[in-house]
Amino acid sequence: MTAIGWGSMFWPLAAMALLTFGVWLRLYSVRIPEMRRRRIHPQSVATSVTKAGRYEDVRASDNFINLFELPVMFYVGALAAVQFALVDAITLALAWGFVLGRVAHSIIQCSYNKVMHRFAVYSLSALCLWAMWGWIIARAL
């Protein structure tokens, strides 16, 4: 396959950054009003141990944390593909598949939070990620 310019991979990377920013905004638009409404002092939730069970709505915060787990492998893979000129149509399609799956996962988790729906899109996006890594490694060989 013919390599595509690095600029093509910029857009899935930017989309993931924008998704993370959107979930971050959602997190604080939910968290701060809840802390005010329930009179939760910031120091009382200073650690993960002390905040466990204090909040009623943790969907956005759980999703925000999740956006720094598996997506790290996406960022590294995408940047490696760019660095070594391994971005092609398949790499790009798999990158977009991962990103779209993460968008769907975030929408589900930050709204109605049905676990099996979340798991289905998580699994599909993870498969795209691992396939992207496999493709990048195969092309590098």
Of 74, 56, 58, which is closest to residue 19 (Cα–Cα)?
A: 74
Residue 96 burial by CB count (10 A; 0-12/13-18/19+): exposed, middle or buried? middle
pLDDT of residue 6: 63
Q: Give yes or no for a contact between 16 and 102, defined as CB atoms under 8 angstroms apart.
A: yes
Which tokens in the block code for residue 106?
Answer: 């975030």
Instruction: Specify the residue for token string 């790009």.
Output: 92
Q: What is the tens place of the pLDDT at every residue in 43-69?
A: 999 998 888 789 999 999 999 999 999
Backbone angles phi, psi at 111, to 5 degrees: -120, -100
SS3 17: helix
pLDDT of residue 39: 94
Which of the 8 DSSP states describes residue 87?
-
Q: What is the tens place of the pLDDT at every residue in 76-118?
A: 999 999 999 999 999 999 999 999 999 999 999 999 999 999 9
CA distance 102 to 43: 32
CATH 1.20.120 fits 7-140, yes or no: yes
pTM of the predicted protein model: 0.91
